[in-house]
C-alpha cells in the first residue's frame, strides 16, 4: 500500500481540487492508496470538508490537531499514522503535481533507491526577493553543514518503509524535515520539474515565516553560527588589544590629546553590537535546548476519522 500524507491549514477550497486531480493517479498504480490528511488547527471549514471526504471516499482518513502546531508537526503525525509499504508526502495545493507519483513509484520499485524526491528546476512565478533568499539559504547551509540539501528540493517525495522508520526514530522536538530526510541517508533520486502555481487560495507562508524557518534549519544542522560568534569575539579582543598598545605608545611619545571621541564611541558601539549578536546566536541554541528538555509533545490530536469503511471513490 502507498500512504500519502497531506498537511492542511485553511485549505477548504483546495481539498476538492486535490481529490479530483489525484483520482486518475490511483488507477495508474497497481498498489492501493491511503490518504492521510492532517488538519493543522485550521480556522476555516477544512475539518468539515475532511470529515465529508473521509465518509464518502475509500482510503481517505484525517487527523485534526487541537490547534496550529506547524507543518513539521503535521508531517510527523502523518508519518506516524501511515501504514503503507511506501509513504509519500505532498502539499494539497497541487504545487506538487500528482501525476509525478506514477513516475516516482516506477523508479522506487525498479531501481535500488529508498526515496524518490522532487526539486524545482525554476522558481518562476515566485517573488524575486523570496527566490533570492531561498537560493541564499541553500548556499549557506551547504557551506556550513555536513548535511547537504539539494537546492529547490520539495517535501514532495516517495519513501520506503525502512526510510520512514529511520526518520521516526529521530525523536527530537525541533524538526526540520528537509534536513532530516537527508541526514538519515539512504539512496535518493531527484526528479526535476518546473514550478507550478497553486490551484486556488494563497500561500500560508510569508517572507518572515520562511526566514524564521530557514534560521531554524541552519541552527538545527550546523554549529557554525556558534563558531562565528567565537571567532568574532576573538577578533574583537585581538583588535582591541592592538589598539590599546597603539594608544599607550602614542600617549608616551606624543602626549595625551583629547581628540578622538567620535571614533571611541563608534568602537564601543561596534564591540557592543558584536556582543549582542553573539549573545543572540547563543540564545537561539539555548532556546532549542530548552524546548528539547521540556519534552512536550510535537502535537495534540483532537479528532481522528474512524477506520475506513467507505467503498466508493
Same domain, 230 and 200: no
- For residue 199, is pLDDT > 60? no
Q: Specify the higher pLDDT residue, 128 or 80.
A: 80
What's the burial of 105, exposed, middle or buried (CB within 10 Å: 0-12/13-18/19+)?
buried
Q: Specify the higher pLDDT residue, 40 or 198.
A: 40
Evaluate whether residue 45 is within a structural domain.
Answer: yes
Q: Place 204 in a pLDDT band, splitting at 50, 70 and 90.
A: low
- For residue 93, is pLDDT > 90? no
Instruction: For the chain, give the DSSP string.
Output: -EEEEEEESS-TTHHHHHHHHHHHHHTTSSS-EEEEEEE-S-SSSHHHHHHHHHHHSTTEEEEEESS---HHHHHHHHHHH--SSEEEE--TTSSS-TTHHHHHHHHHHHSS-SEEEEEES--TTS-HHHHHHHHHHHHHHHHH-SS---TTEEEEEEEEHHHHHHHHT---SS--HHHHHHHT---EEEEEE-----SSS--S--HHHHHHHHHHHHHHH-SHHHHHHHHHHHHHHHHHHHHHHHHHHHHHHH------HHHHHHHHHHHHHHHHHHHHHHHHHHHHHHHHHHT--S--EEEEPPSP-----
Q: Of 36, 47, 37, 46, give the one whose Cα is nearest residue 11.
A: 46
Q: How many CB atoms lie within 10 A of CB 155?
A: 19
Same domain, 118 and 35: yes
Average pLDDT over residues 61-84: 90
Evaluate whether residue 181 is within a structural domain.
Answer: yes
Same domain, 74 and 178: yes
Q: Considering Cα of 251, then 256, then 262, then 267, what sign does the dihedral take?
A: positive
Same domain, 109 and 185: yes
**Which pLDDT score is estimated for 265?**
66
Same domain, 276 and 195: no
CA dist., res. 8 & res. 70, Å (int): 10
- For residue 87, is pLDDT > 90? yes
**Which pLDDT score is estimated for 158?**
93
**Which pLDDT score is estimated for 201?**
58
Query: Cβ contacts of residue 218 below 8 Å, gap of 6+?
Result: 137, 140, 141, 144, 145, 224, 225
**Which pLDDT score is estimated for 313?**
58
**Which pLDDT score is estimated for 210?**
65
Same domain, 201 and 228: no
Percent share of the chain, pLDDT over 70: 79
Residue 58 backbone phi and psi in degrees, to 5: -70, 135
- For residue 312, is pLDDT > 80? no
Q: Specify the higher pLDDT residue, 201 or 19.
A: 19
Angle between helices 128-144 and 207-221 (to 10 degrees): 0
What domain count does the chain have?
2
Mean pLDDT computed over every residue of the chain: 80
**Which pLDDT score is estimated for 262?**
59
Q: Specify the higher pLDDT residue, 120 or 126.
A: 120
CA dist., res. 205 & res. 213, Å (int): 10
**Which pLDDT score is estimated for 77?**
92
Unique residue bearing C-alpha cell 485534526? 64
Evaluate whether residue 310 is within a structural domain.
Answer: no
Range of the domain at 285: 224-294
Same domain, 259 and 123: no
- For residue 189, is pLDDT > 60? yes
Query: Cβ contacts of residue 123 below 8 Å, gap of 6+?
Result: 130, 131, 134, 135, 152, 195
Same domain, 195 and 74: yes
Q: Place 143 in a pLDDT band, splitting at 50, 70 and 90.
A: confident
Between the alpha carbon of residue 49 and those of residues 23, 38, 127, 148, the distances in Å are: 17, 12, 31, 38
Evaluate whether residue 245 is within a structural domain.
Answer: yes
Same domain, 66 and 176: yes
- For residue 306, is pLDDT > 70? yes
116-130, 260-274, 297-311, range with the lowest pLDDT: 260-274
Evaluate whether residue 260 is within a structural domain.
Answer: yes
**Which pLDDT score is estimated for 213?**
63
Here the cell at position 141 is 547551509
Evaluate whether residue 22 is within a structural domain.
Answer: yes
Same domain, 50 and 176: yes
CATH code of the domain covering residue 104: 3.90.550.10
Q: Place 35 in a pLDDT band, splitting at 50, 70 and 90.
A: very high
pTM of the model: 0.71
Parallel, antiparallel, or unpaired for β 60-65 and 153-160? unpaired
pLDDT in tens, 210-263: 666 667 766 676 677 777 777 777 777 777 777 777 777 777 777 665 566 656
Same domain, 197 and 280: no
**Which pLDDT score is estimated for 246?**
73
51-60, 193-202, 266-275, range with the lowest pLDDT: 193-202
Same domain, 155 and 57: yes
Q: Specify the higher pLDDT residue, 35 or 179.
A: 35
**Which pLDDT score is estimated for 207?**
60
Evaluate whether residue 169 is within a structural domain.
Answer: yes
Amino acid at each position: 500500500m502507498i500512504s500519502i500524507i497531506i498537511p492542511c491549514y485553511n485549505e477548504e477550497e483546495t481539498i476538492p481540487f486535490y481529490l479530483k486531480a489525484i483520482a486518475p493517479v490511483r488507477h495508474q498504480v497497481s498498489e492501493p492508496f491511503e490518504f492521510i490528511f492532517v488538519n493543522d488547527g485550521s480556522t476555516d471549514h477544512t475539518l468539515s470538508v475532511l470529515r465529508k471526504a473521509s465518509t464518502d471516499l475509500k482510503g481517505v482518513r484525517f487527523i485534526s490537531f487541537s490547534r496550529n502546531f506547524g507543518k513539521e508537526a503535521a508531517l510527523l503525525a502523518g508519518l506516524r499514522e501511515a501504514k503503507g509499504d511506501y509513504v509519500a508526502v505532498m502539499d494539497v495545493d497541487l504545487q506538487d503535481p500528482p501525476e509525478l507519483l506514477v513516475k516516482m513509484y516506477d523508479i522506487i520499485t525498479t531501481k535500488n533507491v529508498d526515496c524518490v524526491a522532487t526539486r524545482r528546476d525554476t522558481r518562476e512565478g515566485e517573488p524575486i526577493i523570496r527566490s533570492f533568499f531561498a537560493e541564499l539559504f541553500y548556499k549557506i547551509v551547504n557551506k556550513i553543514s555536513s548535511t547537504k540539501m539539494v537546492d529547490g528540493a520539495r517535501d514532495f517525495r516517495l519513501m520506503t518503509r525502512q526510510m520512514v522508520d529511520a526518520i521516526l526514530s529521530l525523536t527530537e522536538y525541533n524538526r526540520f524535515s528537509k534536513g532530516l530526510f537527508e541526514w538519515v541517508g539512504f539512496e535518493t533520486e531527484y526528479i526535476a520539474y518546473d514550478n507550478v502555481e497553486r490551484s486556488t487560495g494563497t500561500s500560508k507562508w510569508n517572507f518572515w515565516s520562511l526566514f524564521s524557518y530557514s534560521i531554524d534549519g541552519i541552527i538545527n544542522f550546523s554549529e557554525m553560527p556558534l563558531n562565528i560568534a567565537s571567532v568574532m569575539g576573538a577578533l574583537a579582543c585581538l583588535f582591541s588589544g592592538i589598539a590599546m598598545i597603539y594608544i599607550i605608545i602614542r600617549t608616551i611619545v606624543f602626549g595625551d590629546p583629547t581628540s578622538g571621541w567620535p571614533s571611541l564611541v563608534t568602537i564601543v558601539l561596534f564591540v557592543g553590537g558584536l556582543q549582542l549578536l553573539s549573545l543572540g546566536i547563543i540564545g537561539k541554541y539555548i532556546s532549542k535546548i530548552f524546548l528539547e528538555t521540556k519534552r512536550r509533545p510535537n502535537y495534540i490530536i483532537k479528532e481522528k476519522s474512524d477506520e475506513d469503511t467507505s467503498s466508493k471513490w
